[in-house]
Amino acid sequence: MTTAAAPTTEQFEKIPTKIHPTAAAAAAALAREVADLIRERNAAGRATVLGLATGSTPVPFYRELIRLHREEGLSFANVITFNLDEYHGLARDHRESYFRFMREQLFDHVDLKPGSIHLPDGTVALDKVFAHCQAYEAAIDAAGGIDLQILGIGRTGHIGFNEPGSTRDSRTRLIALDRITREDAAADFLGEANVPRFAITMGVGTILRARRIALMAWGENKAEIVRQAVEGPETEAVSASFLQSHPDARFLVDAAAAKALTRVKLPWLVTHVDWDEAGTRRAVTWLALKHHKPVLKLLDEEYNENGMAELLTRQGRAYDLNIRIFNQLQHTITGWPGGKPDADDTTRPERATPHPKRSLVLAPEPQDDVLSMGATLQRLVEHGHHVEVVYLTSGDLRVADAEASKFAKVLLETSETIATGAAGDAAGAAGDWSRQVAYARDMLAQLEAKGPFGDPPAALRRLKGLIRRGEARDAAQALGLSPEHVRFLDLPFYAKGRYRQFRLEDADIAAVRATLEEIQPHQIFITGHLADPNSVQGVAWRAFAAAWDQCGQAPWKNDCRVWLHRGHQRELEPHEIHMAVPLSPDQLARKLAAIRKFQSPTNPDQLTGERNRQTARTYDALGLAEYEAIEAFERWGA
Ligand code: F6R
């Protein structure tokens, strides 16, 4: 759907919002602006006061600032910084403290003076927090106030850690973290239970006093909250919405985070639209869901009343349009995700030939595949396709310490038992098991030394990786796939990195490319295209997209379809679905059983399966057949 640019397109937006093609482009533009500001103020003989944020979002921005420092001589010698927040209870050298994050991401790489850096202190005793917060505010005032405040946005709509309920004039204070915020931090802390419950944060009022504010947001997970902040009412329920009344605040978003804005999602409400097939489908499904009606019951007047009169005049009567879109939706449904052999495939999502196909499942982390497409995987295997599941990373960062400890203890006890001959004949003769004993003891000692929050040494990560691999093989086997069709690429970006700090390398792309060229698949299943580009899924997608490009004009590519799913947090909207694989209650149960092979779950248990049920309910609401659950896919480039 192409839309004619018109000033009215942004009429619902109460904060100036720029949609950048990529997060990298947006971050580079903002870094350039910071550089200009610093140089301008330096020329006037004045310091620059920056308000800084942590989290995944500003990572590409800080990398660009470092580049400007190294390659273009940008100096931070005359810059003063104030960070938004810090977890309460974490010392400055704690692996997850925001102080440490800032050192690793920026401070250690530029010429900021140590005395110019300010973060709330997470170790302040509770009875001293109030005074500490007041002193923080006073320090900001003494520096002359913040010239430019950098922000991210949490899924609760928080800026800083101003969770729902924070008032417009709130000041720096201790706050309890929202459940969703703690859930989002769970991977960093190896489980939600380890995430601190409290943080010290600048208040909304503190933030609003900054002279200029720039909020960045990337990835589809932020799309709905960005819409609420930009288009919704100013409300304590979404603290970012208070930026609406700031005279110089703006949002920089990538295309995925802009997805829910009216000008992107419902452009016909704000501008003239050249209706194409995809846009028409989006409009019709939206109208049906809005009116709680099946597609086939939509009326002419409902189209007219919702800005779609032009669509009707071009397409004929509602009756004809409804049938056409209904048929398209109907044709997305298939129990044959690898194509149905010997069947007419003109209206099927996948081709009948070749059969069997080489089906490649590229999963960023173990469990991504099972969560989003476990039942589809099972069908592909059942239908005789050559399915290869390739895990791009070992997933060791998701394995809780308790799992590694359990494994090491079992190994220790087993080795000691065998070494003394007490295991009996089945274990063979007593022998030299000292190496196994030493290894198990070493792992337990490393766990002990690391404590709940320390950096895991490489050997411990390897052990956790082995555990995750075992679980991944078990899960694949539970879906009918034999272990020799499960591989691990162990991409370097993950093996060397940690959450929020991954860096894509040529070696990652080369490894994915080698896999593509070896398998020459007829279909590929993958996720991450709309994820935060710094998440595991986002980096994995970038590795795939670059590898795909590098394969150039390889003939197998002409015969290969790429099917996208949405990872574990979201589901596709109905107009985005090109293939809907229905699940019977039994198939869903089998999928859930496979998910349970993983001891450290990626998702809260209650969400598992719910997304697939919701997609089925949406299809039902549109007037299609009523299924227990549906796994949905979008075709790349369609
Ligand atoms: C960080 C902060 C938070 C984050 C927000 C988004 O200092 O104050 O508001 O900006 O939680 O986090 P990410 O960027 O990790 O999605």
243 has a pLDDT exceeding 60: yes
Domain boundary among 244, 263, 282: 263
Confidence (pLDDT) at 192: 83
Q: Give 185 Cα–ligand 1 centroid separation in angstroms.
A: 10
Rounded CA gap, 185 and 487, in Å? Answer: 28
The tens digit of pLDDT for each residue in 510-569 reads: 999 999 999 999 999 999 999 999 999 999 999 999 999 999 999 999 999 999 998 766
Q: Verify whether ligand 1 is closer than 6 Å to residue 159 (CB atom).
A: yes
Residues 374, 292 share a domain: no
Number of domains observed in the structure of the chain: 4
Q: For the residues 278-292, what does the mean pLDDT come to?
A: 96
Confidence (pLDDT) at 95: 86
Residues 97, 169 share a domain: yes
Give the domain CATH number at 544.
Answer: 3.40.50.10320
Q: Verify whether ligand 1 is closer than 6 Å to residue 374 (CB atom).
A: no
Q: Is residue 3 part of a domain?
A: no
Q: For the residues 438-450, what does the mean pLDDT come to?
A: 95
- Our CA angle for 491, 496, 502, nearest 5°, is 80
Extract the tokens encoding 278.
């995809």
Residues 184, 67 share a domain: yes
Residue nearest to ligand 1 atom 12, measured at CA: 55
Q: Verify whether ligand 1 is closer than 6 Å to residue 177 (CB atom).
A: no
Extract the tokens encoding 387.
């399915």
Rounded CA gap, 144 and 150, in Å? Answer: 17
Q: Give 160 Cα–ligand 1 centroid separation in angstroms.
A: 7
Range of the domain at 293: 271-331
Residues 181, 150 share a domain: yes
Domain boundary among 433, 450, 467: 450
Q: Is residue 2 part of a domain?
A: no
Residues 463, 445 share a domain: no
Residues 191, 108 share a domain: yes
**265: pLDDT confidence band, cut at 50, 70 and 90?**
very high
Q: For the residues 582-593, what does the mean pLDDT come to?
A: 95
7 has a pLDDT exceeding 60: no
Q: Is residue 381 part of a domain?
A: yes
Q: Which of 48, 43, 125, 123 is nearest to 82 (CA)?
A: 48
Q: Verify whether ligand 1 is closer than 6 Å to residue 23 (CB atom).
A: no
Extract the tokens encoding 361.
């499942």
Residues 143, 193 share a domain: yes
**6: pLDDT confidence band, cut at 50, 70 and 90?**
very low
Q: Is residue 9 part of a domain?
A: no
The tens digit of pLDDT for each residue in 371-400 reads: 999 999 999 999 999 999 999 999 999 898
The tens digit of pLDDT for each residue in 117-173 reads: 999 999 999 999 999 999 999 999 999 999 999 999 999 999 999 999 999 999 999
Residues 63, 207 share a domain: yes
Domain boundary among 431, 450, 469: 450
The tens digit of pLDDT for each residue in 194-240 reads: 899 999 999 999 999 999 999 999 999 999 999 999 999 999 999 99
Confidence (pLDDT) at 500: 83
Residues 304, 210 share a domain: no
Q: Please tell me which residue, 422 or 24, carries the higher pLDDT value.
A: 24
Q: Give 234 Cα–ligand 1 centroid separation in angstroms.
A: 20
Extract the tokens encoding 66.
């470092």
Q: Verify whether ligand 1 is closer than 6 Å to residue 582 (CB atom).
A: no
Confidence (pLDDT) at 282: 96
Q: For the residues 595-600, what does the mean pLDDT come to?
A: 88
Residues 259, 137 share a domain: yes
Q: Give 152 Cα–ligand 1 centroid separation in angstroms.
A: 5
Q: Is residue 630 part of a domain?
A: yes
Give the domain CATH number at 60.
Answer: 3.40.50.1360
Annotated catalytic residue 163: yes
Q: Which of 10, 163, 403, 573 is catalytic?
A: 163
Please enumerate in sequence order all residues whose Cβ is within 8 A of that of 143, keeping only pairs 6 or more positions apart, or say none.
47, 49, 80, 82
Q: Is residue 508 part of a domain?
A: yes
Q: Verify whether ligand 1 is closer than 6 Å to residue 53 (CB atom).
A: yes
Confidence (pLDDT) at 350: 97
The DSSP-derived string for 205-230 is: HHHHTSSEEEEEE-SGGGHHHHHHHH
Q: Is residue 476 part of a domain?
A: yes
How much is the mean pLDDT over the chain? 93
Confidence (pLDDT) at 570: 77
Residues 425, 385 share a domain: no
Confidence (pLDDT) at 638: 84
- Break the chain down into helix, strand, coil percent, rounded to 5: 45, 15, 40
Residues 203, 78 share a domain: yes
Q: For the residues 269-274, what does the mean pLDDT come to?
A: 90
Q: Is residue 7 part of a domain?
A: no
Residue nearest to ligand 1 atom 8, measured at CA: 160
